[in-house]
Structure 1
Amino acid sequence: MRGRGKAVVVTGAGGGVGRATAVAFAARGDRVALLGRGREGLAGAADDVQRAGGEALVVSVDMADAKAVEDAAQQVADAFGGIDVWVNNAFAGVFAPFTEITPDEFRRVTEVTYLGYVFGTRAALRHMLPRDRGTIVQVGSALAYRGVPLQSAYCGAKHAIQGFNESLRCELLRDGSRVRTTMVQLPAVNTPQFEWVLNRMPGRPRPVAPVYQPEVAARAIVHAAAHPRRREYWIGASTAAALLGNAVAPGLLDRYLARTGYDSQQEPRQPGEEPGGAGNLWAPADGPHGHDHGAHGRFDAESRDGDPQEWLSRNRNRLGAGLLVAGALGAMGALAARRPGNGPR
């Protein structure tokens, strides 16, 4: 089936945003390699991809293992005849105050969430640079710019991805390469991550409202892969507000989040629910139980299927061109009105 659609790699594809993204690529008829650790989640994702019209290849890999990531990329290239798009999405997280995160836990989050992107990007470039084509999409977050309490390890990793990706982009531009890299900054998304992150808060972890469905993120990622000349996409009005607010008044946001950041990221536990747990930090969340978590979390009732900012982010150039045309027509009209014989000046 070589030659059918693009050859796409999605990391962290067993659930959440990665799963929804894999299905969105499959709906275009692409061949999708699903990289991750969870056996049941990857199997479920493969079924979803095939039902959507794509071809699925499951590759079990821990993104923190550089050699394993290189081997996985080679397996994909051998199966698909190359790699056209690589989406870095895999992550791990801990919900806890910084002083309650152990060094090993912080290191593990960094290795998966930051170095996993570095290793994935290196593996993708190894196959893309010799062909002088391909696109790497870094799935980011508003937290790549704006840190929040209780997620210091994750925020640090996302900030690191942002800096590393900017450096790489400069190098590719300097070399005149046709390999592109772009980053998609996401809002809070309704994914199963809030069921499996390591948690040391008294309540259950939850995303900060407003919450968006993973398909919103998936549409943005697929669009970014098709239009990678844009260096960055902001998805969700909350993302735009956070990034703009942080650029203008970061100290004010510090104080605001100090007051609200703890309560907005947790909710009461269910009766009989045990606190804590290692989540998926050290092992796949579906390992002991054989459970496929799917793409959605438990917040369907409050999650949004779209947002004006999503449209604006995807159509910024078209909107800008329209404004320029409108401005030019307005200026021409004003000049015509000022010509002699056209009334008072």
Structure 2
Amino acid sequence: MLDGKVVVVTGASGGVGRAVVRMLGDKGAKVALIARGETGLATAATEVGAEGGVAKVFPADVADHEQVDAAADSIERELGPIDVWINVAFSSVFAPFTEVEPAEYERTTAVTYLGYVWGTRAALLRMRPRNRGVIVQCGSALAYRGIPLQSAYCGAKHAIKGFTESVRTELLHDRSDVKITMVQLPAVNTPQFDWVLSRLRRHPQPVPPIFQPEVAAQAIVYAAEHPERREYWVGGSTAATIIGERLVPGLIDRYLGKTGVTSQQTKEKPPTGVANLWQPADENRDYGAHGGFDDRAKDRSVQVWLSQHRGLIAAGAGGAAAAALAVLATRR
């Protein structure tokens, strides 16, 4: 379904974005890669080509709306009309709220929230006159549940959810055929934890369950092909959190207040001292898609499987589906 389509991916040089562009290459898409780190972008473009797709690099800082709009112009001029726009780029600071400097908070918000706003705006300005196109927002379970040490990131992800819902209702009001959907991700094993600005005494780590970036990419690409659903989830933490909050209000707050700080740090490795908040970490070094937690990351997700096999389950294949889910739940 994406063969020959022009697909834009922000944050394409590393992590989830890197896994997404490789998968798009395998599907034969024309992939426009947006990020700041030119070494990471160049290697990612090579991988897209190796998978069978076409890739072009468009370096830009997504926090700057003029750069994003100029990149969109260049993409349409060089690759053709944009069919799909996937927002993945983000930045963050690992620290207690009062230890984050105002400028750092502004920068995180500009990249992680406004980057999605500017990407969505650039896409809609070009898609709406044609009355077609798909926008995929790479969200997070933290769009539903804030956790300690990540106030800037959690605030941005909550904002993206509200912003996307508002835009979706406007498109519905206009009876537009442009679709917008979100994919809410769990903890993912990406270089985020190697290059995030951190003021923690120990190396930051994702909160289990941890998934490989290819699992997230699979869900994101599927959402691009099937944008009729308003939201997709990867991993079960989001659903569990929502149910828990409704059944016992404040329980999750108390639990995270007790465990959330230590669970996001590891003694297994020292802090890297690298920070990509102001400058790209992959300008002169390629970090790839994976972080340093391969030994603990799952390469399958029950929620992704369910999203892709809803027809099978609805048709009454309950026994087969249950068996398949049991296998998936126990495999890494």
Asked if TM exceeds 0.5, the reply is yes
What is aligned with 2:163?
Answer: 164
- Alpha-carbon offset, residue 277 of structure 1: 4.0
Aligned to 2:207: 208
Contact 1:61 1:68 in 2 (8 A): yes
Judged with a 3 Å threshold, the aligned counterparts in structure 2 of structure 1 residues 295 and 29 are, in CA distance, closer, same or farther, namely same
For residue 307 of structure 1, report the CA deviation from its aligned partner. 1.9
Provide the C-alpha distance between the structure 2 equivalents of 1:105 and 1:317, rounded to a whole number of angstroms: 46
The residue that corresponds to 2:239 in the other structure is 240
Structure 1 CA distance for aligned equivalents of residues 297 and 147 of structure 2:
21
| 1:81-121 per-position Cα deviation (integer Å, ceiling 9, x unaligned) | 10000000000010000010011000000000000000000
Look up the SS of the partner of 1:176 in the other structure.
coil
Segments of structure 2 that go 5 or more residues without pairing to the other structure are 319-332
Partner of 2:282: 286
| Cα displacement string for residues 110-157 of structure 1 (whole angstroms, at most 9, x for unaligned residues) | 000000000000000111111100000000000001000000000000
Mapped partners of 1:55, 1:6: distance in 2? 10
SS in 2 for 1:322: coil
Residue deviations 1:164-213 (CA, integer Å, cap 9, x gap): 00000000001000000000000100000100000011110100011100
Aligned to 2:70: 71
The 10-residue stretch of structure 1 (59-68 or 303-312) with the greater mean CA deviation from structure 2: 303-312
Q: Could you say if the C-alpha distance between residues 277 and 315 of structure 1 is closer, same or farther in structure 2, counting changes exceeding 3 Å?
A: same
2:303 equivalent to 1:309: yes
Distance of 1:161 and 1:39 partners within structure 2? 26
Give the residue type in structure 2 aligned to 1:294: G
How many Å separate the matches in 1 of 2:134 and 2:65?
A: 20
TM-score (norm 1): 0.88
Which structure has the larger Rg? 1
SS of 1:162's partner is: helix
CA contact (8 A) 1:142 1:243 kept: no
Secondary structure at the residue paired with 2:148?
coil
Partner amino acid for 1:65? D
Structure 2 counterparts to residues 98-247 of structure 1, below 5 A: 98-247=97-246
User: Is the Cα contact below 8 Å between 1:23 and 1:48 reproduced in 2?
Assistant: yes
8 Å contact from structure 1 (residues 201, 276) kept in 2:
no
Cα drift, residue 5 of structure 1 = 1.1
CA distance in 2, matches of 1:16, 1:248: 35
Residue 96 of structure 2 is aligned to residue 97 of structure 1:
yes
**Separation (CA, whole Å) in 2 of partners of 1:212 and 1:143:** 15
Q: How many Å separate the matches in 2 of 1:22 and 1:229?
A: 22
SS in 1 for 2:58: strand
Paired with 2:249 and 2:99, the residues of 1 have a C-alpha distance of 25
TM-score (norm 2): 0.92
Q: Does 1:52 align with 2:51?
A: yes
Q: Post-superposition shift, 1:278?
A: 5.9
TM-fit CA distance, 1:247:
4.1
State the SS of the aligned residue for 2:316. helix
CA distance in 2, matches of 1:252, 1:145: 14
2:203 and 2:272 in contact (8 A); partners too: no
| Counterpart secondary structure, 2:33 | strand
Q: 1:67 and 1:250 mapped to 2: Cα distance?
A: 43
- Greater shift, 152-161 or 277-286, is seen at 277-286
Q: CA deviation at 1:309?
A: 2.0
- Report the residue type matching 2:305 in the other structure: W
Which residue is 1:334 aligned to?
A: none
Give CA deviations for 1:268-313 in whole Å, capped at 9, x if unaligned.
Answer: 263xx4x5846000000023xx210000001111111102222123
Aligned-pair RMSD on alpha carbons?
1.7
Distance 2:226 2:3 in 1: 20
CA distance in structure 1 between the partners assigned to 2:287 and 2:237 by the alignment: 26
Indicate the SS of the match to 1:60: coil
Q: Which amino acid aligns with 1:293?
A: Y
Tell me the number of residue pairs that the alignment of Structure 1 and Structure 2 aligns: 317
Unaligned runs of 5+ in 1: 325-345
Map of 1:258 onto structure 2: 257
Q: Given that residues 194 and 272 in structure 2 are in contact (C-alpha distance below 8 angstroms), is that contact kept between their aligned partners in structure 1?
A: no
Tell me if the contact between 1:235 and 1:313 (Cα under 8 Å) persists in the aligned partners.
no
Q: What CA distance in whole angstroms lies between the structure 1 residues aligned with 2:161 and 2:94?
A: 21
Do 1:203 and 1:266's aligned partners in 2 also have CA atoms closer than 8 Å?
yes
Tell me the distance in 1 between the aligned counterparts of 2:118 and 2:246: 30
Task: Kindly state the Cα deviation for residue 321 of structure 1 after the two structures are TM-superposed.
Answer: 4.9
Q: Quote the offset at 1:318 in angstroms.
A: 4.6
Report if the CA contact (8 A) 1:26-1:55 is conserved. yes
Q: 1:39 aligns to what?
A: 38
**Mean CA deviation greater in 119-128 or 306-315:** 306-315
